């Protein structure tokens, strides 16, 4: 841990003491959310890879989620859950709207050269809040 006498992120006050600024938890969460969304969108600009499990899920007749719908979710959707400790690498759950305004969840993991789409599905109304942002 840094010695406060060395100065902090806020610089030093007039007496030469460290001046520390603390970020509220909500702000810190927003910074992390912005970071993962930025990583997702930057990776998606390079290439979007659909993993085999994802392909099996999105082509099911009861789902039929198109690649353009997934692309729309990853480029314009909002962060619902963040999984920084995921075994596959930092991943997240995004919510967006597809054809006819239907809600779509996409779980993805940004890499340096591509975005891996782990799965995409239509959220179940019995498992999610009415806005599909909170698990029940």
Per-residue pLDDT of the chain (136 residues), as tens digits, is: 444 444 445 555 566 666 665 656 565 555 556 699 999 999 999 999 998 876 777 777 777 899 999 999 999 999 999 999 998 899 999 999 998 899 999 999 999 999 999 999 999 999 999 999 999 9
Torsion of CA 32, 83, 86, 128, to 10 degrees: -170
Structure tokens at 30: 């927003």
Report whether 9 contacts 20 (CB < 8 A): yes
Q: Phi and psi at residue 77, in whole multiples of 5°?
A: -70, 175
Structure tokens at 25: 């938890």
């Amino acid at each position: 841990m840094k010695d406060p006498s060395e100065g902090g992120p806020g610089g030093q006050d007039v007496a030469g003491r460290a001046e520390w600024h603390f970020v509220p938890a909500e702000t810190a969460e927003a910074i992390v959310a912005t970071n993962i969304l930025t990583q997702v969108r930057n990776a998606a600009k390079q290439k979007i890879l659909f993993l085999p499990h994802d392909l099996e899920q999105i082509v099911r007749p009861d789902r039929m989620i198109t690649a353009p719908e997934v692309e729309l979710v990853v480029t314009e959707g909002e962060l619902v859950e963040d999984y920084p400790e995921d075994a596959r690498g930092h991943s997240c759950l995004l919510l967006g709207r597809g054809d006819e305004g239907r809600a779509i969840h996409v779980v993805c993991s940004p890499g340096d050269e591509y975005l891996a789409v782990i799965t995409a599905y239509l959220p179940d109304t019995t498992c999610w809040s009415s806005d599909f942002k909170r698990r029940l």
